[in-house]
Every structure is written in structure tokens, then in C-alpha cells.
Amino acid sequence: MAAETGTPTTLTLKSNDDELFSVAESAAILSVTIRNMVEDGCAGGVIPLDNVDGKTLASVITYMNGISAIPADEEKKKSYRDKFLSDKDFETLADMVLAANYLNMSCLMDAVSAKIAQVMEKKSVGWVRRKFGIENDYTPEEEAAVKEEHKWTFEGVETDDDN
């Protein structure tokens, strides 16, 4: 672990598109993946994060710095998370959920999952397939049958556009 005295230790993180980021160790170890690397003594040079691109990593680091500056007050942390995620579009959220999973950051993972779920809530099935790149593997007959089981849940759904 970091030395207890002197200036705070800074880590250098490298995204999979070779961008470098400096971040305080105290903030970076919110990621269990990074913390394990630090504890194993791999943090001397640059920490490569092979599954995260630069744009997403920049966002995650903003979050790490923001949340670790807040004292242990769960309500305040929650409102920071809500605010942090409020202006993110769906693609960014999807990238972040993958990053949070890879970096093993449960608090970010939970918040992003909840945000994605909230965005999805009123969306059509077609929208969900398109945004997640999921292929419809039902035959038309099967799909109609599954839809028929709960047809009342298709009322009040947003029209099938890209928003």
C-alpha cells in the first residue's frame, strides 16, 4: 500500500487506446482491480487497463475524484452519483457499465445499472434491441406468443424512435 507520509501517491493509468491519466491512489483504489494491482506491487510504472477506452476512463476518473472527495455520508454520495450520471447519454452509460465491471467498482456499477434501467423503463422492445445491439432470435410466431402473455405491458410505451 501507499506510504503513509509525504505527498499523496499518484498512479498513472493507461487506456486501451494509449491515453495516459494521472490519478491520486486514494481515489483510484475505489477500483478493486486497481487496488489489487497496487497491493501486488504492480503500480510502480503505468497501469494498463486493456478493456477501457480513453473517453470512458476520463469519465470514470472524474467520478473517482468526485466521490472520494465526499466524506462518509451515503446520502451525499448518492446525490453526487445521480448528478454525475444525469447528463450521460445511453452509449456512455453502456461503456461505463462495462468499465465499472472490469474495474470492479461496485458503487459505480450499481448506480450506472440503475440509471440504465431508468432510461429503459418506458422504451420499446425495438429500442432496447437496437441500443444494445441484440439480435431478435424469436420467430415472428414465437415473438407474438411471448408478447401475448403480457400484452398489457405494451401500453403507454414510448414510440419506437432513437431518443
Partner 1 sequence: MSDIPSELFRKILLRVPADSLLRFSTVCKAWRAIIGDASFIRSHATNQSSSTTLVIANSTGTRLFSLSPDSLDYNNDAHQVIDVMPLRTLYRTCVPRLPALPVASCNGLMLLSHYDVDKIWAVFNPVMQDFHEVSEFDHDSRLIGTGLGYCSASDDYKVVRIDEILRHGKIVYRTCIYSLRSGFWKVINDCPSDFPWLSPGVYLNGALYWRSWDFVIALDLKTENYDKLPLPPDLGKPFETRVDALGGCLILSCYYMMNRIDGWMMKDCEWVKLFTFGEGYGSGTRWNLRPVAYFKSKGQVFLLHDSGFFMLDIERNLAKNVTIDGLPEFFSCQFFPGSILPLDESYAVEVKSSAGTKRKRKKKTANKSFLRVL
Where along the sequence are the contacts to partner 1 (CB under 8 A)? 75, 78-79, 82, 91, 94, 97-98, 101, 109, 113-114, 116-118, 120-122, 125, 128-129, 131-138, 143, 146-147, 149-150, 152-157
| Nearest alpha-carbon partner for 120 in 150, 94, 152 | 94
- In the complex with partner 1, the residue whose CB is nearer, 43 or 96, is 96
Cβ 82 to partner 1, closest distance in Å? 8
Q: Which three cell numbers stand for residue 161?
A: 424512435
Cβ 160 to partner 1, closest distance in Å? 12
Q: Report the distance separating Cα 31 and Cα 37, nearest Å.
A: 10
- Asked if 90 and 109 count as a contact pair (C-beta separation under 8 A), the reply is no
- In the complex with partner 1, the residue whose CB is nearer, 39 or 132, is 132
- In the complex with partner 1, the residue whose CB is nearer, 61 or 120, is 120
**Angle, to 10 degrees, between the axis of helix 90-103 and the axis of helix 106-120?**
150
Output the DSSP codes for 47-58: EE-TT--HHHHH
Q: Report the distance separating Cα 14 and Cα 33, nearest Å.
A: 14
- In the complex with partner 1, the residue whose CB is nearer, 2 or 157, is 157
Cβ 33 to partner 1, closest distance in Å? 15
Cβ 154 to partner 1, closest distance in Å? 6
